């Protein structure tokens, strides 16, 4: 699954705060393993070392917002996505700690490069040397037909790295592959370009002898040599998997999801941005292999194709009924009843949805991974998941959620507000004897977005002045209980692409007033509101600040923001909306200012949220930010396979945003969580979505039997 939006960084490597990146830095340097049940005082070290998970019971989870859609391709809400991670799955899965992908709905896969000379067609294979684009005489060495194969260790009969051979088990054909054999954490890989028999067929050419292709980097059109790294993939679909309705899962379901996501009228522009350069997706002759080609390299192409393209049940949507009318199909897909009654292949199946009240999932007793011998699927035990069912209880009001936890109506509140965490009530012995107080540092950041498409915010000095009017320290102290960590940019603040040299914009109302005057904002009529001539008419500085109902403290922060900006002669109104309405308004750019949060990966691709391509068609560039150099950097980052160079470009992008100030960056923060201390296996993953529930279980026999809930 895509790591797909968090206490694991209590010790931070020193290189995180260096102004330059250390040679040899690896992404796993930024990931510290979590400890299961770390915050539970009733669990001893011996119990942690020797857990005894048992099946049974219901887990009741509080959620502050109702589901917007269960359709995984249409989701933008973290609340929706957390539920869908239990219902749906990708063709590959990610180990959050090692950052290694291993087989899931695909039992194996292959990757390769693309090359085209001036005399021939496009060749698929593996390059041993890519050459230097800037040097026409540099050499390219390419092995046509070679591939890098990836297999789960459990499917391999024998592997000998010294001899360069790998043999599959008989149930997977028993074939022997020859080449460079490398062992991963959960997989074996074989690069057949190093098979002596194939290497003899290697083509040697120069950059000058390659055909060319046109590319756009920001505003510049480039003509580039046709040697494309890791732009070919083949996924071999696992047999024996069924959808929750009993239909067989096939390669056509995977291909259908890709075709649907690429339909421009399907409301999935943000997700589509990750696979927009895939130009070929086809079913191979064996009927069980899906083949992809991309027109340009992308360092997260595999992750996008294997995780963003989440298979969907083609038989449910019946695309053939639309006779090739892509618009008619998209309209039907966007409104399909599947959005309220999803069918997946995952470890939990959808049971019921009571609008505004709860969503209930039940364990999938026919789950494919649980039917395999232990060890067949990495990080999975056949008896998982342990809970019979998970019930997501919609409780918007924080005060009510605390009462429901104490009276036993819910078992876990993963969306506790910082102020609640500091209450005497939640720190009292009576409370802590029953509930665990935990917190984790999230891979996310929050900001106040200014709609850069609004004439009022198109001036950089105006946006800078607005940033000066936000009292971050006061908000952290009075509202966030000291759990916030100020940020100045869009990368995860403990990751390698974050630039710690960028200074925080300091709260200074007097300086903000001066900057507003320089930007042309003056109170010309003495009514206390500044105004400015824009497009030939005098415009008062009046703005609407939009928040949602899912978190109470957003109102408190909005009240503080209103108090401060009005000191500078700006009239502000606060608009509070139910979360799903709020999210739709954000996608449609129907706001002046907005408080929002984004999840982020340790190794980020910024384009989905910040590239100018993502402004139109409900794209995720909610603030309509557009900058030619920023676009150029984001395009370059996507193609850069050297992580050090990629992270350095990310830092430059960070500095551009600090200069342009399209949003007011606020903070990352520690997220508090409260849960019943009889729960075990509680671990917060180093991921955007750190809480999975698949490993949680009840230590209390009454809870497992359902007698207490």
Q: Is the per-residue pLDDT at 11 higher than 70?
A: no
As a whole number of angstroms, the distance between CA 295 and CA 69 comes to 32
Please list, in sequence order, all residues whose beta carbon lies within 8 angstroms of the beta carbon of residue 84, skipping any fewer than 6 positions away: 70, 72, 75, 342, 344
How does strand 593-599 pair with strand 542-548?
Answer: parallel
Which residue is associated with the tokens 């056509």? Answer: 252
The alpha carbon of 241 is separated from its chain's Cα centroid by a whole number of angstroms, namely 26
- Whether residue 449 contacts residue 546, with contact meaning beta carbons closer than 8 Å, is answered with no
As a whole number of angstroms, the distance between CA 683 and CA 260 comes to 35
As a whole number of angstroms, the distance between CA 302 and CA 192 comes to 19
Report how far apart, in Å, the C-alpha atoms of 173 and of each of 170, 176, 234 are.
5, 9, 17
**Secondary structure of residue 340 in the 3-state scheme:** helix
The alpha carbon of 667 is separated from its chain's Cα centroid by a whole number of angstroms, namely 18
Percent of the chain with pLDDT over 70: 96
- pLDDT tens digit sequence for 269-318: 889 989 999 999 999 999 999 999 999 999 999 999 999 999 999 999 99
Q: Is the per-residue pLDDT at 414 higher than 50?
A: yes
Percent of the chain with pLDDT over 90: 82
Given this model, what pLDDT does residue 122 score? 95
- pLDDT tens digit sequence for 586-640: 989 999 999 988 888 889 999 989 999 999 888 889 999 999 999 999 999 999 9
Closest CA to 217 of 676, 570, 660, 649: 649
As a whole number of angstroms, the distance between CA 431 and CA 700 comes to 18
As a whole number of angstroms, the distance between CA 178 and CA 165 comes to 5
**Taking the CA atoms of the chain, what radius of gyration do you get in angstroms?**
27
Please list, in sequence order, all residues whose beta carbon lies within 8 angstroms of the beta carbon of residue 666, skipping any fewer than 6 positions away: 445, 446, 447, 448, 470, 472, 475, 484, 486, 487
**And the tokens for 118?**
């001036």
Q: Is the per-residue pLDDT at 6 higher than 60?
A: no
Q: Is the per-residue pLDDT at 156 higher than 90?
A: yes
- Sign of the dihedral defined by the CA atoms of residues 522, 525, 526, 527, in that order: negative
Angle at 262 between CA 256 and CA 268, to 5 degrees: 105
Strands (E), 65-218: 92-95, 100-103, 106-115, 123-129, 139-144, 148-152, 156-160, 165-168, 176-178, 180-183, 187-191, 203-206, 212-217
Given this model, what pLDDT does residue 4 score? 31
- pLDDT tens digit sequence for 666-709: 999 899 999 999 999 999 998 888 898 999 999 999 999 874 43
Q: Is the per-residue pLDDT at 659 higher than 50?
A: yes
Q: What is the dihedral of CA 249, 253, 257, 262, to 10 degrees?
A: 160
- Whether residue 345 contacts residue 249, with contact meaning beta carbons closer than 8 Å, is answered with yes
DSSP 207: G
The alpha carbon of 83 is separated from its chain's Cα centroid by a whole number of angstroms, namely 14
Domains, the chain, in order of start with CATH, read 51-88+336-437+680-705 (3.40.190.10), 106-231 (no CATH), 444-669 (3.10.105.10)
- Whether residue 577 contacts residue 548, with contact meaning beta carbons closer than 8 Å, is answered with yes
Q: Is the per-residue pLDDT at 20 higher than 60?
A: no
Bridge partners of 234? 110, 291
- Whether residue 249 contacts residue 242, with contact meaning beta carbons closer than 8 Å, is answered with yes
- pLDDT tens digit sequence for 26-57: 788 888 888 999 999 999 999 999 999 999 99
How does strand 289-294 pair with strand 278-283?
Answer: antiparallel
Bridge partners of 574? 545
Q: Is the per-residue pLDDT at 1 higher than 70?
A: no
**Secondary structure of residue 199 in the 3-state scheme:** helix
Least confident of 253-262, 419-428, 652-661: 419-428
Q: Is the per-residue pLDDT at 450 higher than 90?
A: yes
- pLDDT tens digit sequence for 82-131: 999 999 999 999 999 999 999 999 999 999 999 999 988 999 999 999 99
**pTM for the predicted model, two decimal places:** 0.88
Q: Is the per-residue pLDDT at 413 higher than 70?
A: yes
**How many other C-beta atoms lie within 10 A of the C-beta of residue 15?**
14
Q: Is the per-residue pLDDT at 426 higher than 60?
A: yes
509: buried, middle or exposed (CB in 10 Å: 19+, 13-18, 0-12)? Answer: middle
Query: pLDDT tier at 416 (50, 70, 90 boundaries)?
Result: very high
């Amino acid at each position: 699954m895509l790591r797909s939006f968090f206490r694991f960084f209590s010790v931070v490597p020193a290189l995180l705060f260096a102004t330059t990146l250390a040679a040899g830095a690896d992404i796993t340097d930024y990931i510290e393993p979590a400890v299961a049940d770390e915050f539970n005082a009733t669990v001893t070290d011996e119990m942690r070392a020797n857990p005894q998970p048992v099946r049974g019971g219901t887990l009741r989870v509080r959620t502050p917002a109702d589901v917007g859609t269960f359709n995984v391709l249409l989701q933008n809400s973290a609340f929706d996505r957390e539920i869908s991670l239990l219902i749906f799955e990708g063709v590959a899965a990610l180990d959050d700690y090692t950052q290694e992908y291993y087989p899931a709905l695909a039992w194996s896969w292959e990757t390769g490069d693309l090359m085209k000379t001036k005399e021939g067609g496009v060749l698929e294979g593996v390059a041993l040397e890519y050459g230097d684009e800037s040097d026409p005489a540099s050499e390219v060495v390419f092995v046509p037909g070679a591939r890098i194969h990836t297999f789960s260790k459990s499917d391999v009969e024998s592997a000998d790295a010294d001899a360069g051979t790998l043999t599959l088990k008989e149930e997977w054909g028993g074939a022997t592959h020859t080449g460079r054999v490398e062992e991963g954490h959960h997989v074996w890989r074989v690069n057949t370009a190093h098979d002596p028999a194939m290497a003899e067929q290697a083509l040697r050419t120069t950059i000058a002898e390659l055909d060319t292709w046109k590319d756009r980097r920001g505003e510049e059109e480039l003509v580039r040599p046709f040697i494309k790294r890791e732009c070919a993939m083949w996924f071999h679909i696992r047999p024996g998997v069924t959808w929750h309705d009993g239909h067989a899962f096939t390669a056509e379901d995977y291909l259908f999801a890709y075709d649907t996501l690429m339909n421009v009228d399907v409301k999935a522009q943000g997700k589509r941005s990750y696979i927009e350069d895939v130009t070929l997706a086809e079913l191979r002759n064996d009927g069980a292999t899906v083949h992809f080609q991309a027109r340009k390299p992308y360092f997260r192409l595999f992750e996008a194709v294997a995780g963003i393209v989440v298979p969907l049940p083609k038989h449910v949507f019946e695309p053939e009924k639309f006779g090739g009318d892509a618009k008619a199909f998209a309209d039907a897909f966007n409104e399909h009843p599947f959005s309220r009654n999803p069918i997946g292949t995952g470890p939990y199946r959808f049971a019921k949805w009571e609008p505004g009240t709860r969503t209930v999932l039940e364990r999938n007793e026919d789950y494919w991974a649980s039917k395999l011998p232990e060890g067949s699927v990495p990080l999975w035990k056949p008896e998982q998941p342990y809970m019979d069912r998970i019930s997501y209880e919609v409780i918007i009001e924080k005060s009510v959620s605390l009462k429901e936890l104490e009276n036993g109506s819910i078992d876990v509140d993963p969306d506790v507000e910082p102020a609640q965490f500091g209450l005497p009530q939640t720190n009292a012995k009576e409370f802590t004897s029953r509930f665990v107080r935990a917190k984790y540092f999230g891979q996310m950041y929050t900001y106040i977005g200014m709609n850069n498409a609004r004439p009022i915010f198109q001036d950089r000095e105006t946006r800078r002045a607005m940033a000066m009017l936000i009292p971050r320290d006061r908000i952290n102290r009075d509202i966030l209980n000291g759990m916030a960590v100020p940020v100045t940019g869009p990368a995860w603040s403990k990751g390698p692409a974050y630039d710690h040299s960028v200074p925080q914009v300091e709260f200074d109302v007097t300086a903000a007033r001066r900057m507003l005057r320089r930007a042309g904002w003056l109170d010309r009529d003495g009514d206390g509101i500044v105004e400015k001539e824009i497009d030939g008419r005098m415009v008062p500085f009046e703005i609407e600040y939009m928040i949602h109902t899912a978190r109470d403290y957003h109102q408190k922060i909005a009240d503080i923001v209103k108090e401060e900006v009005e000191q500078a002669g700006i009239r502000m109104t606060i608009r509070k909306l139910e979360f799903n309405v709020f999210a739709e308004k954000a996608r449609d750019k129907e706001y002046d200012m907005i408080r929002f949060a984004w999840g982020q990966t340790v190794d980020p691709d910024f384009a989905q949220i910040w590239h100018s391509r993502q402004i139109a068609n409900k794209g995720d560039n909610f603030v309509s930010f557009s900058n030619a150099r920023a676009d150029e950097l984001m395009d370059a980052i996507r193609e850069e396979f050297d992580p050090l160079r990629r992270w350095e470009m990310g830092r430059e992008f960070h500095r551009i945003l600090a200069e342009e100030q399209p949003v007011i960056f606020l903070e990352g923060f520690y997220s508090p969580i409260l849960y019943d201390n009889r729960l075990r296996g509680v671990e917060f993953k180093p991921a955007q979505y750190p809480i999975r529930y698949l490993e949680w279980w009840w230590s209390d026999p009454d809870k497992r039997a359902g007698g207490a809930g």
